[in-house]
Amino acid sequence: MIPQPLSAASPAPASDYRAPAWLPGGHLQTIYTSLFIRTPRVFYRRERVELADGDFLDFDWVDADPAAPVVVLLHGLEGSSNSHYARHLMHCVRARGWNGVVAHFRGCSGEDNRLPRAYFAGDSDEIGRILEHVKSRHPGQLRYAVGVSLGGNALLKWLGEQGAAAEGWIASAAAVSAPVDLTAAGQALDRGFNRHVYTARFLATLKAKALRKAQQFPGLLDSAAVAAATTFREFDTLVTARLHGYRDAEDYWRRVSSKPLLRFITLPTLVINARNDPFLPPAALPAANDVSAAVILYQPETGGHVAFPGGPFPGNVDWLSQRLIAHFDMRHG
């Protein structure tokens, strides 16, 4: 049965997702798409923005007609403008004649940030700071925002907190594979196959960054404990919570999860989650009664985590970018 949007709002006019028969299961779809499906090379213009707190943000732009709409992408955990989903979306945005920009969270653009802080899944102030900068560069154009995974949760949290005020920054939004219940996601990632594959891969770079920060700011972190961490619960307690004012991982996960705020979103917002996403159990996904009428929930049975591969072997990732642009086209007219 073809999955349908779960809320009262009308769906974006794009085809429903169907995984290719040659690539079954959430793990294969996630891993193969990330590592083996080729995506276009994109040429970016980098802009560094110096912040009032002494830190910086790097924006990678794809420029078109200055009067055309702008799509800003907020990447996932340890992502960047080089992530497969970023390259493909920015390629498609440019082909559409629109402007695009990948906004890097602190420490994700290839250079460590300067302050004794990092980035995290609930940094609403940073989302506002990013969107304000994009607005300053394109004040008269339609602006759209896409958040992927961690960036998706942060964007949805910001949208729920802002309510109708969000219309001052963007016209429409979308979140892809957002871990809207971080407690459920953290627990899933710290078990079994997930822990040994996805979590181990994320922690390899996260721990390296944290250890460099510990060296830069003596006494800030327990370096030995960070180096020994093997779960997100340990890392988020030792690093993320400590750097950003939370008691421990459980407190952090609970307080930054966007799911309780989805009912307060007023902008047209497409929320895409595959039900076989290894990072978030289907029982933790939002239902129609968890969201406002402005939110479109699209939850196909397959697709993996930020994957949604399609086509004959060796496959492509066309569907996701097409679906996102179709959603924004509803506002563009």
Determine which one of 34, 81, 124, 149 is catalytic. 149
User: For residue 85, which amino acid is it?
Assistant: Y
Active-site annotation holds for 80: no
Determine which one of 58, 181, 236, 277 is catalytic. 277
Active-site annotation holds for 305: yes
Asked if residues 251 and 151 have their Cβ atoms less than 8 Å apart, the reply is: no
Cα 137 from Cα 130, distance rounded (Å): 11
- Residue 76's nearest CA partner among 236, 299, 279 is 279
Determine which one of 7, 305, 321, 327 is catalytic. 305
Cα 76 from Cα 128, distance rounded (Å): 17
Q: Which residues contact 19 (CB under 8 A, 6 or more apart)?
A: 29, 302, 303, 308, 309, 310
Residue carrying the six token digits 């049975």 = 301
Q: Pseudo-torsion of CA 161, 162, 164, 170, nearest 10°?
A: -130
Active-site annotation holds for 75: no
Cα 314 from Cα 309, distance rounded (Å): 10
Active site residues: 149, 277, 305
